[in-house]
Amino acid sequence: MTQATIISALQNGPLTSKQLEFLTGIPRTSVLASCKKLRYKGDLTTGQIKVGRSWVAQYTLAEHLVKIKAKEVEDDDRCLLNPFDIRNAKGIFTPTEYKLMNAHARRLYSPNANEITNNQYI
């Protein structure tokens, strides 16, 4: 269980033992023991980085364990005709502005939009 949690935490990039402790909530001694086992199995690589005045171990996940998200899966559910979809954000607006426009459009075109607009002014 600890090894699986560490592997999932390292999916986004290398982390130190202190960062793994804060991210997973596992005590540092357990993190170090699990990382040592994973390193012996060849699932982790260890590097040394300097933090302040001391050297700290930085753990990186091996290439065969990194899960790569396929873009085809994300693009299948995308509607190219929806101008408020953030993934279609091309033009003069930022993605944040598209999020705001999408929220506003959902609020205006919701099934009970008349109740919302009538109660706003009362």
Decide if 51 contacts 18 (C-beta within 8 A).
no
- Give the span between the Cα atoms of 99 and 43, in whole angstroms: 39
- Give the span between the Cα atoms of 54 and 48, in whole angstroms: 10
Question: CA geometry: angle at 89 spanning 87 and 91, to 5°?
Answer: 160
Amino acid 81 reads: L
- Give the span between the Cα atoms of 95 and 88, in whole angstroms: 9
Specify the pTM.
Answer: 0.54
* Helices 2-9/17-24 angle, 10° precision: 110
Give residue 13's pLDDT: 85
Decide if 21 contacts 31 (C-beta within 8 A).
yes
Give residue 70's pLDDT: 46
> Along the 122 residues of the chain, how does pLDDT read in single tens digits?
788 889 888 888 889 888 888 888 889 899 999 999 999 999 999 999 998 898 888 999 988 888 765 444 455 566 767 666 666 666 667 778 878 887 888 887 776 655 555 545 44
